[in-house]
């Protein structure tokens, strides 16, 4: 009898550990950190726009979900609370680079110091392209200001 | 003389066209069951309303949806929305009572929108109600409605049926600015 109690206890403990591990994995798996990720491609904002403009489907296959490092001139800045977006090169349909709000809070001083016309180097995750928005990069981090 | 005026009139109406645009619209998706709560936020939605004829379009990139849990975000993209195959979701339709919205007068206007919603490569007709708020020349559009996963051929595995509802609530919140300003 004692033996069975032991086995049952072991099963329960293993169950708790595995289940707990699973829950921890689901809730605490970290998001991609673009600051630490090596870019899959490094290119200029104009080059990226040109490729998506010419062949959206094939460009999406190449760049979709990849970490891109782009270089370009800020054409427009939109601020909405702690969400900040830089649009590079073309104000109407350029490369739209959004920072996470936590990133904006931590790096407020640097981001607030940037203005239209500045040339920047950014890293972000490519979500795709739309004629109204242009190429969309999210989870962006600033690499450097030229 | 007439030949000169006709193009001039057309040009004038184009300049005065009452178009509003956003590229930073918000869509929140929400599903709650006793087992699991799913909350996703997309802050990159583009939309244009043309108040000359009531036309409204909205489009977003599926990969712009962000979730608190990274794993949920991965599953959303890979297993459910298949964002590699279907990168965009879009809506195209009409504000049926657009003439009731007075863009020069601050206030809230109830609207009815009819159109076609495309998610996961599948298009369905929808009709939703919403509220347009006019404030000092800018407008905000809000709406809340549900979509059925099955209707958009989004397959939920049998083992997750208790955790994910078929009806997903969408909350729309767009801040539009006049176009060409």
Q: What is the pLDDT of residues B76-89, one digit of tens each?
A: 999 999 999 999 99
* Average pLDDT along chain B: 91
pLDDT band, residue B12 (cuts 50/70/90)? very low
Range of the domain at B66: 21-178
pLDDT band, residue B16 (cuts 50/70/90)? low
Residue B71 has pLDDT above 60, yes or no: yes
Asked whether residue B7 is assigned to any structural domain, the reply reads no
Mean pLDDT, to the nearest integer, of B65-83?
Answer: 94
Contact B87 A128 (CB under 8 A): yes
Find out whether A103 and A86 touch, Cβ atoms under 8 Å: no
Asked whether residue B5 is assigned to any structural domain, the reply reads no
DSSP for residue B162: T
Question: Where residue B137 sits, what CATH number does that domain have?
Answer: 2.40.128.110
Contact A80 B175 (CB under 8 A): yes
Mean pLDDT lowest among B7-21, B24-38, B82-96, B155-169: B7-21
- From the list A29, A30, A132, the residue facing B48 with the nearest CB is A132
Helix (H, G, I), strand (E, B) or coil at B73: helix
Asked whether residue B14 is assigned to any structural domain, the reply reads no
Residues forming beta bridges with residue B29, ordered by sequence position: B40, B170
pTM check: above 0.95: no
Find out whether B142 and B134 touch, Cβ atoms under 8 Å: no
Phi, psi of B28, deg, nearest 5: -110, 135
Supply B105's token pair. 């007068």
pLDDT of residue A31: 86
In total, how many domains does chain B have? Answer: 1
Find out whether B77 and B69 touch, Cβ atoms under 8 Å: no
Q: Chain B residues with CB inside 8 Å of A127's CB? A: 44, 61-64
What's the CA gap between B134 and A96, in Å, rounded? 27
Asked whether residue B163 is assigned to any structural domain, the reply reads yes
pLDDT band, residue B162 (cuts 50/70/90)? confident
Asked whether residue B170 is assigned to any structural domain, the reply reads yes
Asked whether residue B8 is assigned to any structural domain, the reply reads no
What's the CA gap between B143 and B25, in Å, rounded? 12
- Is the Cβ of B48 closer than 8 Å to some Cβ of chain A? yes
pLDDT of residue B32: 92
Q: How far is A100 from chain B (nearest CA, A)?
A: 10
Residue B178 has pLDDT above 60, yes or no: yes
Q: What is the pLDDT of residues A95-114, one digit of tens each?
A: 999 999 889 999 988 999 99
pLDDT < 50 stretches in chain A: none
What's the CA gap between A82 and A106, in Å, rounded? 10
Asked whether residue B15 is assigned to any structural domain, the reply reads no
What's the CA gap between B55 and B49, in Å, rounded? 6
């Amino acid at each position: 009898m004692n033996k069975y109690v032991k086995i049952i206890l072991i099963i329960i403990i293993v169950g708790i550990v595995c289940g707990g591990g699973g829950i921890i994995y689901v809730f605490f798996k970290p998001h991609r950190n673009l600051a630490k990720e090596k870019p899959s491609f490094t290119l200029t904002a104009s080059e990226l726009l040109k490729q998506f403009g010419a062949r959206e489907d094939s460009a999406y296959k190449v760049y979709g979900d990849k970490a891109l490092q782009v270089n370009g001139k800020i054409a427009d800045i939109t601020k909405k609370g702690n969400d900040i977006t830089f649009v590079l090169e073309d104000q109407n349909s350029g490369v739209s680079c959004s920072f996470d709000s936590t990133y904006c809070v931590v790096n407020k001083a640097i981001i607030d110091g940037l203005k239209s016309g500045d040339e920047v180097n950014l890293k972000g995750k490519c979500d795709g392209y739309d004629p109204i928005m242009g190429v969309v990069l999210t989870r962006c981090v600033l690499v450097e200001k030229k | 003389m007439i030949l000169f005026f006709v193009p001039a009139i057309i040009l004038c109406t184009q300049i005065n066209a009452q178009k509003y645009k956003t590229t930073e619209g918000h869509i929140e998706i929400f599903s709650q069951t006793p087992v699991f709560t799913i909350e996703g936020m997309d802050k990159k939605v583009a939309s244009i309303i043309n108040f000359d004829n009531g036309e409204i379009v909205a489009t977003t990139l599926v990969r712009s949806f962000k979730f608190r849990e990274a794993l949920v975000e991965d599953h959303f993209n890979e297993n459910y929305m298949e964002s590699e195959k279907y990168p965009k979701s879009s809506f195209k339709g009409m504000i049926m009572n657009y003439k009731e919205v007075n863009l020069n007068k601050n206030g809230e206007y109830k609207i009815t929108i009819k159109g076609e919603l495309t998610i996961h490569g599948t298009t369905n007709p929808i009709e939703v109600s919403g509220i347009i708020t006019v404030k000092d020349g800018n407008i905000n559009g809000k709406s809340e409605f549900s979509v059925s996963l099955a209707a958009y051929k989004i397959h939920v595995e049998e083992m997750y049926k208790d955790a994910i509802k078929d009806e997903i609530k969408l909350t729309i919140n767009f801040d539009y600015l006049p176009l060409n300003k």
